[in-house]
A and B are shown apart, each in its own frame.
Chain A
C-alpha cells in the first residue's frame, strides 16, 4: 500500500471507530499487520498523521490515538 493510501486508511479506521472503540498505537499496527502491512510502515504513517495534527494522542487511563481537534467538528 502506498504511504498516502495507508495514511488515509488509518485515518478512516480511527474516524469510523470514534465513540465506539479506542485504538492504541499498537492496536492500529496489529490491525494493519493482518492486511500484510509491515509494522514500521504503519508506525511511520501514524507519525505523519500526528505531526500534521490530523490525529492526536489522548489520555484516558492509557494513551490512545484519536481524531485531531481540527477535523473533529468539520
Chain B
C-alpha cells in the first residue's frame, strides 16, 4: 500500500487548461511508494517554501564519472520513500526517435528500479529517470547497457551531445545532424563518461539556422547547418503567396537583415552576396525558396547560461566547414580546444569564459584558425587582427601607401 497525502497546494496546479505534472505524479503515486512520498514532500516544500533536498554525494556506477546525480531528502524519516532519490541520465537517441516497444521497456524498467517518474527529455537532452536508490544503480546500468542504452554525461565532462530531427523529417536540414551526433558520441566516450575538464562541455547540432535545438544559446560548441550556393527561387510559387494575401514587401523584403531582397510585384530577386543566411525568407516562403549546395556547417563557440558572467550566445569561429564522415576536421578542432581549456581553465570556468579571459586571439591561434570578418560579433568590436613584431619588420603599410 502506498501512503496517501493531502495535497491542496499541488491540486491548484491541476486546474486550468494545461496538462499537469501533478496529475501524472498522482498516477505514479498510486502504485509506487517513492512517487507517493515525493508527492508528499513536494506539497510540504510548497507549504514551507523550502526544497528539503540535499545535493551531491558520491553515487555512481563503476567506471563512470557521471550519469547519476545523487539526491537525498532532508526529511527521510517523514518521507522514507525519498530518502534516496537519485536522478539517472540516459543517453537519448539522436533526434529522439523511439519505437513504442522501447518506450515501454524504459517505463517498465523504471517502475521496477525507480519511482516510475520520468522526464522525456530533460533540459540536457537526456532521458531523465527521476528517483532511485543507490543499490539499484549497478543493476540498472547493466540492464540498460544490455539493451543498447548507456548513461549520459554529468559533472565536468562532455555532456550527452544532442541535435534536431534533421534530415530524418525536415526538408531544411543541410547536414546529417543524427549521424554527426552519433559519431561524436562514439568518438568521445572517454570525455563523456570520465570527467576530465574544468567544467561541462555541451555539443549541439542543428540542420539549419532555424536552430530548433537552440544550440546557439545552449551549447559550448554549436554546429549549425548552412549553405554556400544561391537561394533557388520558384517565382510562380512566390506569386502564389502574394496572391493569397502575403505582403511580400512588408513580410519578406523589409525584414531581411541582409537588405538583399527586392520585389517588383512580379519577381523576387536576392543578392546572395549580401545574404546573412538567417533563413527568414526561406521559412516564410516555404516551398518557394530553398538553399542550394555546397552544404556544410557554421561552427560556433561559447554559449552558456548565467554563472560567472552573464548569459552568452555562441560566437562564430568557423564560417563554413564541410561535414562529411568521419568529420576529422571537426574532431581535431574539438581536441585542440579541449587541450587548451584543460591547460588554462580554472575550476568551473566554461570554455567561453576562458576565451573572454585570455582572449579570442589566443584561442584562434591554439585552434589554428585565421581571423575572418564573420568572427566579428558586433560593429566596432575587435576583429582580432594583431600585428606581430616580425609582421611589422616587413613594413606592410608600404603596400597601401603606394
Contact = CB atoms under 8 A, between A and B. Distances in A.
Given A57-B60, A62-B347, A63-B66, A25 B198 contact: no
B194 A61 contact: no
Residue among A26, A56, A60, A63 with the most chain B CB within 10 A? A63
Contact of A63 (B62, B63, B65, B70): B65
B56 interface: yes
Given A50-B65, A50-B194, A56-B58, A24 B155 contact: no
A12 interface: no
B348 interface: yes
Given A24-B347, A57-B65, A62 B198 contact: yes
A3 interface: no
Interface string B114-140: 000000000000000000000000000
A66 B195 CA distance: 13
Residues of A in contact with B, size category: 10 to 19
Given A57-B66, A57-B195, A62-B348, A24 B58 contact: no
Given A59-B155, A62-B348, A47 B56 contact: no
Contacts of B196: 24-26, 43, 63
A61 B346 CA distance: 12
Contacts of A66: 58
A66 to B, nearest CB: 8
Nearest to A72: B58
Interface string B143-169: 000000000001111000000000000
B65 A24 contact: no
B234 to A, nearest CB: 53
Interface in A18-54: 24-26, 29, 43, 47, 50-51, 53
B199 interface: yes
B62 to A, nearest CB: 6
A17 interface: no
Residue among A43, A51, A56 with the most chain B CB within 10 A? A56
Interface in B53-68: 56, 58, 60, 62-66
Interface in B315-351: 342-343, 347-348
Contacts of B60: 56-57
A63 B58 contact: no
Given A26-B198, A57-B155, A50 B63 contact: yes
A29 B347 CA distance: 15
Nearest to B70: A59
A37 to B, nearest CB: 16
A60 B56 contact: yes
A51 B63 contact: yes
Residue among A43, A51, A57, A58 with the most chain B CB within 10 A? A57
Contacts of A62: 155-156, 198-199, 347-348
A59 B56 CA distance: 7
B171 to A, nearest CB: 41
Contacts of A29: 342
Contacts of B348: 61-62
Contacts of A47: 190, 194
Contacts of B63: 50-51
The 6 closest A-B pairs by CB, nearest first: A57-B65, A63-B195, A63-B155, A63-B156, A25-B196, A62-B156
Given A57-B155, A62-B155, 7 more contacts: A24-B156, A24-B196, A26-B343, A51-B63, A57-B65, A57-B66, A63-B157
24 contacts: A24-B198, A25-B194, A25-B195, A26-B198, A26-B343, A51-B63, A53-B62, A56-B60, A57-B64, A57-B155, A57-B194, A58-B58, A59-B58, A59-B66, A59-B70, A59-B154, A61-B347, A62-B155, A62-B156, A62-B199, A62-B347, A63-B157, A63-B196, A69-B58
